[in-house]
Amino acid sequence: MKYSFALAIAFLVWAQVLLVSQADAQVVNSDASITGISRAFNPAISVNGLFLYLDTNLEERPAVAEELEPGIHLQELELVFTSNVDVYLKADATIAFSEEEASVENLYLTTLQLPFYLQAKIGKINVPFGLQNPLHTHTWPFVEPPMINEAIFGFEGWKDTGIALSWLAPFPWYFNLTGAGFEAGEETPFNSGHQGDLDGLVYLDNLFPMGESATLRVGGSYAWGPASLEGDSILKPGNYDSQVWGADLQIKWRPAELMRSRALVLQSEYLEHKYFSSDKSISDPISGYYVLGMAQVSRFFWLQARYDSLRRPDYQLNRQDESRYRDRWSAAVAFVPTEFQAYKVEYSEVNLGDQIERLMLAQINFTIGSHPAHAY
């Protein structure tokens, strides 16, 4: 894996050198000239903010759901910079702020002119695994992520530093194949204790037209890498191989004659994570899925529903009375006057095994600046 990662970077550098050398005459007269002042390469700057209110029937939230606390909070603030470095590279940077800390959420380069229908990203990115994980918090369909995604990748998802190479095939339908290598970070399923270890990823994304108003998206993801388990795990402490695989399906419908007032999204993902020991025996896997539906019923209002199911292995149980199985029903109403602001009210019932948690959530989502608008 280490050599594959080095070869990928070498290929990226070689391709960039080849492109620059071939197009040198064009660059002199382009907006990329370092001797002139070009507005085209000024960074677009934006701010996205999330305010959240949460109420629960439990006096103390369980450990599996402690990311969001009762009361009203600044959930997150994102400062986003994006710009073309030159005609060959685009740069993106996202700095996230909460009430407690600030962190670099994303910082990566994207190639613009690689040959053979290829595109590369290098840096810290939202890892392209399935449908939910690549999304930023303010674009999530629901306030909380699906339970299986949170159990495997954490509340904010899998973000990691590495390189991803995508191939957009010249097929009659949209076909995108991505291969990637990332550092084995501590907050991922590949928390290797050995410096320099890497994890790999393959993601396949297909998009098929279904008439004039609908599309079908089908995808699959597989990630693998080393992992280290500590002494408080029921599994024997030591070094393991870790793997996560997933499958996703999405149907979108938006009629041309009612483009601004009617839409329907049906979406589902299944994920599974397990460990392999040195003798190739397999741990009891953590697995689960979600199914959601989103219907735009007028120009400004959306109705949403989601069901989550999660099955946890023994080593993730903290108490004897906890159940291996956990599920959640959620319903939401969203008021979206423009693509730059949204108001969402959400209700959830979570089966924790020994008790039921009932949640009421309200979220305000706004964007200012030149951040590209997100389609809801």
CATH of the domain at 302: 2.40.160.10
pLDDT band at 4 (very low <50, low <70, confident <90, very high): low
Higher-pLDDT residue of 317 and 270 is 270
Separation of CA 54 from chain center: 23
One-letter amino acid of 259:
M
Asked if the structure places residue 84 within a domain, the reply is yes
Mean pLDDT in residue range 62-70: 67
Asked if the structure places residue 178 within a domain, the reply is yes
Specify the pTM: 0.86
Q: Nearest-CA neighbor of 275 among 234, 308, 327?
A: 234
CA distance 361 to 56: 9
Residue 231 has a pLDDT of 55
Query: Tokens representing 372?
Result: 């590209």
Q: Which percentage of the chain shows pLDDT scores above 90? A: 60
Asked if the structure places residue 332 within a domain, the reply is yes
pLDDT of 283 above 80: no
CA dihedral 117→122→127→130, nearest 10 degrees, is 0
**CB of 346 closer than 8 Å to CB of 143:** yes
**CB of 270 closer than 8 Å to CB of 247:** yes
In terms of C-beta density within 10 A (0-12 exposed, 13-18 middle, 19 or more buried), how is residue 350 classed? buried
Asked if the structure places residue 134 within a domain, the reply is yes
Asked if the structure places residue 344 within a domain, the reply is yes
Residue 32 has a pLDDT of 44
Spatial CB neighbours of 229, under 8 Å, sequence gap ≥ 6: 235, 236, 237, 238, 240, 275, 315
**CB of 354 closer than 8 Å to CB of 323:** yes
For 313-355, the pLDDT digits (tens) are 766 666 555 667 889 999 999 999 988 999 999 999 999 877 8
Is the Cα torsion angle 313, 319, 321, 326 positive or negative in sign? Answer: negative
Q: Nearest-CA neighbor of 236 among 333, 331, 315?
A: 315
Q: Nearest-CA neighbor of 371 among 79, 50, 41?
A: 79
Asked if the structure places residue 36 within a domain, the reply is no
Asked if the structure places residue 138 within a domain, the reply is yes
One-letter amino acid of 196:
G
Domain that includes residue 344, residue range: 2-31+41-369
For 191-215, the pLDDT digits (tens) are 766 666 788 999 999 999 999 999 9
Asked if the structure places residue 46 within a domain, the reply is yes
The whole-chain average pLDDT of the chain stands at 84
CA distance 154 to 133: 10
Q: Nearest-CA neighbor of 176 among 134, 156, 206, 198?
A: 206
CA distance 195 to 66: 30
Residue 25 has a pLDDT of 43
For 89-139, the pLDDT digits (tens) are 999 999 999 888 899 999 999 999 999 999 999 999 999 999 999 999 999
Our count of domains for the chain comes to: 1
Query: Tokens representing 371?
Result: 């951040």
Residue 24 has a pLDDT of 52
Highest averaged pLDDT of the listed ranges 18-32, 79-93, 309-323: 79-93
Residue 282: DSSP 8-state? B
